[in-house]
Amino acid sequence: MAKPNKKAPTKTIDIYCKACNAPLFKYRKGGKGALVKCFKERIVEDFTHTPCHCPACEKEFARETLIRGTPAYKFIGGKVWFK
């Protein structure tokens, strides 16, 4: 499978913690689908202090993984929302 295109999406979204509404990432998302994963190379701003943990409530919202050979965060269902 092909690697994700680094520069393709220009639209950015804000990703928030579902529990406390703290901002987690500013991310360049492509497509209209649900937010399932987040490639690290597409993150514009990172508000977290420790990877995969909310800076305010310290709950885990994702897991680090490799998707098609590229480092990414795979979100746990119902832990984040975006606009």
pLDDT per residue as tens digits for the range 5-62: 666 677 899 999 999 999 999 999 988 889 999 999 999 999 999 999 999 999 999 9
The pTM of the full predicted model, rounded to 2 decimals, is: 0.88
Residue 34 exposed, middle or buried by CB count within 10 Å (0-12, 13-18, 19+): exposed
How far apart CA 29 and CA 49 sit, in angstroms, is 22
CB neighbourhood size of 66 (10 A): 9
- When pLDDT is averaged across residues 51-74 and rounded to a whole number, the result is 95
**Longest Cα separation, the chain:** 37
Q: E strand or H helix at 71, and its extent?
A: strand 70-75
Cβ-contact 27, 17 below 8 angstroms: no
Does residue 75 or residue 4 have the better pLDDT? 75
